[in-house]
A and B are shown apart, each in its own frame.
Chain A
Amino acid sequence: MTVTEPDLGSGEQQPQSLGTAAARNLATTTKSEPQMQGISSRWLLKMLPWVQAAGGTYRVNRRLTCTVGNGRVSFTNEGARVKVVPPELREFAALRELPDTTVLDAMAEDFVQREYGPGEVIAEFGDSIDEIVLVAHGKVNKIGPGEYGEHVVLGTLADGDYVGDELLTDPESLWEYTTKTVTSCTALVLPASSFTALLERAPALRAHIDRLGSGQEAAANMHGEADVEVISGHSGEIRIAGTYVDYEPSPREYELSVAQTVLRVHTRVADLYNQPMNQLDQQLRLTIEALRERQEHELINNRDFGLLHNADLAQRTPTRTGPPTPDDFDQLLAMVWKEPGLFLAHPRTIAAFGRECSRRGIYPSSVDVGGHRIPAWRGVPIFPCNKIPVSDTRTSSVLLMRTGEDNQGVVGLHQTGIPDEYRPGLSVRFMGVNETAISSYLVSAYYSAAVLVPDALAVLEGAEVGKES
């Protein structure tokens, strides 16, 4: 059988039946709902357990913590010249309650900037501490002696960390570790001589430091919580210590944050063009999607309650080399070791992690989460989240958290049962019709997130997602 094409050379043929163009005038078009590229899977919103915050505020009560105060300092730079922000020097435990800011200004002036290449030693184990070192930029390893005299990496310092602040209280102390740069580093250094000179000039500082030595330290457990006195392993009629569990006197309160918008629909559109899809419903659906995306963005990036900013400083670790490696993920798991729930990472970070795994010849098995196969590390799922920022220099962060109110994890806060509720914690309220016949709806979502105890959340910082291998 042959199928011949119609001969096109012999001019236009008369149509013998109805053309499709004409037929379409009689037919209905099947239409898709309006599509939106910005919709992501929003795993964080799905996986967080949502707790009802009646009254709009959620107070996280904790046991009294005797903070030791080891924060991070921040810097300003003018061109290549880096300076420490003077009030930030209060992060040094010894200067925590120093009232006088002029002393801090003078001290900040005395810091000298130094540049180090990779692999250089900043301070050697066993030498006397003769300077305070602030790491302004770069990565520095703290190396100590191991059990059999070999070198062991005790930790990694990154931007804002400091060593040698023992110098402030005890001029005779020795370095208990070697500090060695991993990358090229910019450091600010306060030599001991400048500090002694400053002590001469500022009697207020000297008095403050002298007062510190006499202070009594409150008994605390390894998390800094005031001790609950328990005795055990005793026999006989010994006196049993009385105790009580102290709470923090001014606990943190999380207020529900809001994302709002006013949706406008012309009454003529809303009244007439409703077949087959309700115009108002579609407008609302897309608005709510946008609100939910914003909600997830805020839960991660909000400066007040966002998880990236709310993570405890001790629960942040830089990557060991640069890209997110299996070793870094193991380190995160060691930080949130009490029932870790989920990793959250930018899709590019997950890809970078996958590359690192493949390079080492390992293939982590995925896990089943509600019918979806999700990549996992040591059985803990790694959810993608495109709200985690990726910097211009292609670095990103990875979050690991424990969730739930019962196991003292991370919880989402919302309030259900609000007036004109459309979805849980989200209300759509009719505002009115104005003189141009436009009806307005106020769409509001109320939410927040709370980290119940600091070790519920850990952040891997500075994961390089585009490292050439």
Chain B
Amino acid sequence: MTVTEPDTEAVPPRQSLATDAARNLATTTKSVPQMQGISPRWLLRVLPWVQAEGGAFRVNRRLTYTVGDGRVTCVNTGSAVSLIPAELAEFGPLRDFRNEAVLGALAERFVQRAYEPGDVIAEFGHEIDQIVVIAHGKARKIGTGEYGDDTVLDVLGGGRFFGDSLLLDQQGIWDYTVKAVTPCTVLSLPKQAAQQVIDTSGELGGHLEEVRGRARPAHNKQGEANIELSSGHNGEITLPGTFVDYETSPREYELAAAQTVLRIHTRVADLYNNPMNQLEQQLRLTIEALRERQENDLVNNREFGLLHNADLGQRLHTRTGPPTPDDLDELLSRRRKSEYFLAHPLAIAAFGRECTSRGLYPEPVPVQGGVAAAWRGVPILPCDKIPVSATGTSSIIVMRTGMEDNGVIGLHQTGIPDEYRPGLSVRFMNIDEKAIMSYLVSAYYSAAILVPDAVGVLESVEIGR
């Protein structure tokens, strides 16, 4: 049996009404306005939202003695790289040192060096003769294993530094080897130059002397003040008395706002409402845009965005470049109860390629009615708000969520006046002389990381192939 399409050539004169004409009488079924910018917004879906009464949320933590291993920011002028003097305060020994002039003198004496992949920047067992700041590139910190073989201790990326103990102890030796993985640009402060500055500035010398003498209070491996306990004892020994100290100035998160004024002409809102309410549709799309912005802020905001708020100790660099199963394993090993990965769709594709090239097929897992790619049973949720650099690098976030698990929580406040959705209000403002109505649409939100290890970030993930 064949079904033929009608022959379109040599059309005889019409004998009945054409569809074009008939359409003038018929109604058209209309879709609601579609918007390409709407994404699944997984982050907003999986974060538990906690009510922040009073607009602020205080995260109380145990007292922590910070060691101060931050990152140093470098600035590029052409191919020359230099240090911002104030950033030198990230070096442990210089933590509370505020003399800009002396820091400036130190910063000036850094020399720029370039290393090729495989070059050794510092060698195990040799005397520490320089402070090294990695301006750009990736290097591996290699230690000696139990049986004399090499073990990778860490991957150092841009902004990391080592050898700063030189300031306190002139006779120290490297207890690891640092080897460049990619072409590296480093800034190095030779021992003599450091000594010169210390000799000329009595203030710096005095500060270092004081730091040397300062004893760090007892603390656990996270840097929290110790809770004294006694165990495994016999007899009538005196039990230690203790108390749990809190941070005296804990961090407070204030709710941030995303706002816009939606304008609609009264004539449009009054008349053109069948079958769809014009105001409702305008509001719906505006709210979608606000929610997209909200997710963007939760990832990228400099104050509370996960990428910026993640603890420096929880940021890893990829071992080689692309996101490999090894890197994700490393991320998972840094926290208990990892619940979700969050990655750019292109980073997920890059991870898929790495798995495939190793002959692995990680089982996808169901997440809230959908299916997501997963690694070790932890779903990898796509999020296009995670930035991808011009050179094709991105980040992968892993997190634990919820108040009970000391994880990441979203903050909002419900019950605000003129509430339209939880934590989002639509308020009628006025009608101006041009008969345009204005509505103020505001969303209030923030996100808090309860303890630092709740969020980990894998950085410099190369997504190109």
Report which A residues bind B (CB closer than 8 A).
51-63, 65, 144-150, 152-154, 221-225, 228-234, 240-245, 247, 253, 255, 259, 261, 286-287, 290-291, 294, 320, 325-327, 330-331, 333-335, 337-339, 357, 360-365, 367, 378-380, 405, 408, 450, 452-455
Q: 1/0 per position for B16-55, CB-CB distance to A under 8 A? A: 0001001100111111111111111000000000000000
With A245-B285, A259-B3, A360-B357 as given contacts, are A147 and B28 in contact (CB-CB < 8 Å)? no
Q: Is B301's CB within 8 Å of the partner chain A? A: yes
The answer to whether B392 touches A240, judged by C-beta atoms less than 8 angstroms apart, is no
Contact among B1, B26, B391, B438 with A152 in the assembled complex (CB-CB below 8 Å): B391
The answer to whether B23 touches A333, judged by C-beta atoms less than 8 angstroms apart, is no
Q: How far, in Å, is B143 (CB) from chain A's closest CB?
A: 24
- With A243-B261, A338-B382 known, 7 other A-B pairs at CB within 8 A are A55-B27, A57-B23, A59-B29, A61-B33, A222-B37, A327-B356, A361-B359
User: Size band of the B side of the interface?
Assistant: 35 or more
The answer to whether A334 touches B348, judged by C-beta atoms less than 8 angstroms apart, is yes
Instruction: Name the interface residues of B251-270: CB closer than 8 Å to any CB of A.
Output: 256-264
Q: Is B290's CB within 8 Å of the partner chain A? A: yes
**How far apart sit A333 and B355, CA to CA, in the bound complex (Å)?**
15
Selected A-B contacts with CB under 8 Å, 22 pairs? A55-B29, A56-B23, A57-B23, A57-B26, A61-B30, A61-B32, A63-B33, A63-B37, A65-B36, A148-B138, A148-B182, A154-B464, A225-B36, A230-B259, A232-B258, A233-B297, A240-B261, A326-B353, A331-B349, A334-B349, A408-B34, A408-B35
Q: Is B360's CB within 8 Å of the partner chain A? A: yes
Q: 1/0 per position for B341-373, CB-CB distance to A under 8 A? A: 000011011001101110111011100001111
Residues of B contacting A287 in the complex (Cβ-Cβ under 8 angstroms): 1
Q: Is B419's CB within 8 Å of the partner chain A? A: no
Interface hub of A230, A338, A360, A364 (most chain B Cβ within 10 A): A230
**How far apart sit A429 and B164, CA to CA, in the bound complex (Å)?**
89
The answer to whether B384 touches A59, judged by C-beta atoms less than 8 angstroms apart, is no
Residues of B contacting A405 in the complex (Cβ-Cβ under 8 angstroms): 31
The answer to whether A233 touches B301, judged by C-beta atoms less than 8 angstroms apart, is yes
The answer to whether A378 touches B352, judged by C-beta atoms less than 8 angstroms apart, is yes
Interface hub of A228, A294, A380 (most chain B Cβ within 10 A): A228
Write the chain B residue with the least CB distance to A227: B289
Contact among A53, A145, A363, A454 with B29 in the assembled complex (CB-CB below 8 Å): A53
The answer to whether A147 touches B392, judged by C-beta atoms less than 8 angstroms apart, is yes
Q: Is B71's CB within 8 Å of the partner chain A? A: no
With A59-B28, A243-B286 as given contacts, are A326 and B33 in contact (CB-CB < 8 Å)? no
**How far apart sit A408 and B353, CA to CA, in the bound complex (Å)?**
28
Residues of B contacting A225 in the complex (Cβ-Cβ under 8 angstroms): 35-37
Q: How far, in Å, is A239 (CB) from chain B's closest CB?
A: 9
**How far apart sit A380 and B370, CA to CA, in the bound complex (Å)?**
10
**How far apart sit A153 and B439, CA to CA, in the bound complex (Å)?**
47
Contact among B36, B182, B345 with A334 in the assembled complex (CB-CB below 8 Å): B345
> 3 nearest interchain CB pairs?
A152-B464, A379-B364, A379-B371
Residues of B contacting A255 in the complex (Cβ-Cβ under 8 angstroms): 19, 23
Interface hub of A63, A380, A452 (most chain B Cβ within 10 A): A63
Report which B residues bind A (CB closer than 8 A).
1-3, 19, 22-23, 26-40, 137-138, 182-183, 256-264, 281-282, 285-286, 289-290, 293-294, 297, 301, 303, 321, 345-346, 348-349, 352-353, 355-357, 359-361, 363-365, 370-373, 382, 384, 389, 391-393, 438, 440, 460, 462, 464-465
Write the chain B residue with the least CB distance to A326: B356
**How far apart sit A469 and B303, CA to CA, in the bound complex (Å)?**
54
Write the chain A residue with the least CB distance to B39: A338
The answer to whether B286 touches A379, judged by C-beta atoms less than 8 angstroms apart, is no
The answer to whether B464 touches A153, judged by C-beta atoms less than 8 angstroms apart, is yes
The answer to whether A54 touches B33, judged by C-beta atoms less than 8 angstroms apart, is no
Q: How far, in Å, is B377 (CB) from chain A's closest CB?
A: 13
Write the chain A residue with the least CB distance to B256: A233
Q: How far, in Å, is A402 (CB) from chain B's closest CB?
A: 10
Write the chain B residue with the least CB distance to A405: B31
The answer to whether A148 touches B321, judged by C-beta atoms less than 8 angstroms apart, is yes
The answer to whether A62 touches B35, judged by C-beta atoms less than 8 angstroms apart, is yes
Residues of A contacting B349 in the complex (Cβ-Cβ under 8 angstroms): 327, 330-331, 333-334
With A59-B31, A63-B36, A242-B438 as given contacts, are A294 and B258 in contact (CB-CB < 8 Å)? no
**How far apart sit A224 and B35, CA to CA, in the bound complex (Å)?**
11
Residues of A contacting B359 in the complex (Cβ-Cβ under 8 angstroms): 360-362
The answer to whether B264 touches A244, judged by C-beta atoms less than 8 angstroms apart, is yes
Q: How far, in Å, is B219 (CB) from chain A's closest CB?
A: 35
**How far apart sit A327 and B357, CA to CA, in the bound complex (Å)?**
9
With A232-B256, A338-B40 as given contacts, are A327 and B29 in contact (CB-CB < 8 Å)? no
The answer to whether A339 touches B259, judged by C-beta atoms less than 8 angstroms apart, is no
Write the chain A residue with the least CB distance to B440: A240
The answer to whether B37 touches A230, judged by C-beta atoms less than 8 angstroms apart, is no
The answer to whether B23 touches A62, judged by C-beta atoms less than 8 angstroms apart, is no
**How far apart sit A171 and B384, CA to CA, in the bound complex (Å)?**
34
With A55-B27, A230-B260, A230-B293 as given contacts, are A221 and B348 in contact (CB-CB < 8 Å)? no
Contact among A145, A232, A253, A320 with B257 in the assembled complex (CB-CB below 8 Å): A232
Residues of A contacting B259 in the complex (Cβ-Cβ under 8 angstroms): 230-232, 234, 240
**How far apart sit A149 and B391, CA to CA, in the bound complex (Å)?**
9
The answer to whether A228 touches B363, judged by C-beta atoms less than 8 angstroms apart, is no
Q: How far, in Å, is A235 (CB) from chain B's closest CB?
A: 8
Write the chain B residue with the least CB distance to A234: B257
Q: How far, in Å, is A145 (CB) from chain B's closest CB?
A: 7
Residues of A contacting B23 in the complex (Cβ-Cβ under 8 angstroms): 55-57, 255
**How far apart sit A222 and B289, CA to CA, in the bound complex (Å)?**
13
Q: How far, in Å, is B36 (CB) from chain A's closest CB?
A: 4
The answer to whether A54 touches B371, judged by C-beta atoms less than 8 angstroms apart, is no
The answer to whether B353 touches A327, judged by C-beta atoms less than 8 angstroms apart, is yes
**How far apart sit A222 and B361, CA to CA, in the bound complex (Å)?**
32
The answer to whether B462 touches A146, judged by C-beta atoms less than 8 angstroms apart, is yes
With A57-B28, A228-B260 as given contacts, are A330 and B352 in contact (CB-CB < 8 Å)? yes
Q: How far, in Å, is B180 (CB) from chain A's closest CB?
A: 10
Residues of B contacting A247 in the complex (Cβ-Cβ under 8 angstroms): 33
**How far apart sit A287 and B2, CA to CA, in the bound complex (Å)?**
9
Residues of B contacting A454 in the complex (Cβ-Cβ under 8 angstroms): 36
The answer to whether B289 touches A228, judged by C-beta atoms less than 8 angstroms apart, is yes
Residues of A contacting B464 in the complex (Cβ-Cβ under 8 angstroms): 144, 146, 152-154
**How far apart sit A89 and B32, CA to CA, in the bound complex (Å)?**
35
**How far apart sit A148 and B460, CA to CA, in the bound complex (Å)?**
10
**How far apart sit A255 and B364, CA to CA, in the bound complex (Å)?**
39
With A62-B34, A149-B183 as given contacts, are A57 and B261 in contact (CB-CB < 8 Å)? no
Contact among A55, A154, A242, A290 with B392 in the assembled complex (CB-CB below 8 Å): A154
The answer to whether B371 touches A326, judged by C-beta atoms less than 8 angstroms apart, is no
With A56-B19, A379-B372 as given contacts, are A243 and B33 in contact (CB-CB < 8 Å)? no
The answer to whether B352 touches A327, judged by C-beta atoms less than 8 angstroms apart, is yes
The answer to whether A54 touches B27, judged by C-beta atoms less than 8 angstroms apart, is yes
Residues of A contacting B29 in the complex (Cβ-Cβ under 8 angstroms): 51-55, 57-59
Write the chain B residue with the least CB distance to A415: B29
The answer to whether A232 touches B440, judged by C-beta atoms less than 8 angstroms apart, is no
Residues of A contacting B257 in the complex (Cβ-Cβ under 8 angstroms): 232, 234
The answer to whether A55 touches B28, judged by C-beta atoms less than 8 angstroms apart, is yes
Residues of B contacting A286 in the complex (Cβ-Cβ under 8 angstroms): 1
Residues of A contacting B465 in the complex (Cβ-Cβ under 8 angstroms): 152-153, 320, 327
Residues of A contacting B182 in the complex (Cβ-Cβ under 8 angstroms): 147-150
Contact among A63, A153, A337 with B34 in the assembled complex (CB-CB below 8 Å): A63
Q: How far, in Å, is A288 (CB) from chain B's closest CB?
A: 11
Residues of A contacting B35 in the complex (Cβ-Cβ under 8 angstroms): 62-63, 225, 245, 408, 453
Residues of B contacting A245 in the complex (Cβ-Cβ under 8 angstroms): 33, 35, 281-282, 285-286, 289
Interface hub of A60, A290, A362, A453 (most chain B Cβ within 10 A): A362
Q: How far, in Å, is B2 (CB) from chain A's closest CB?
A: 8
Write the chain A residue with the least CB distance to B32: A61
Q: How far, in Å, is A324 (CB) from chain B's closest CB?
A: 13
Write the chain B residue with the least CB distance to A148: B182
Residues of A contacting B384 in the complex (Cβ-Cβ under 8 angstroms): 337
Residues of A contacting B30 in the complex (Cβ-Cβ under 8 angstroms): 58-59, 61
The answer to whether A378 touches B373, judged by C-beta atoms less than 8 angstroms apart, is yes
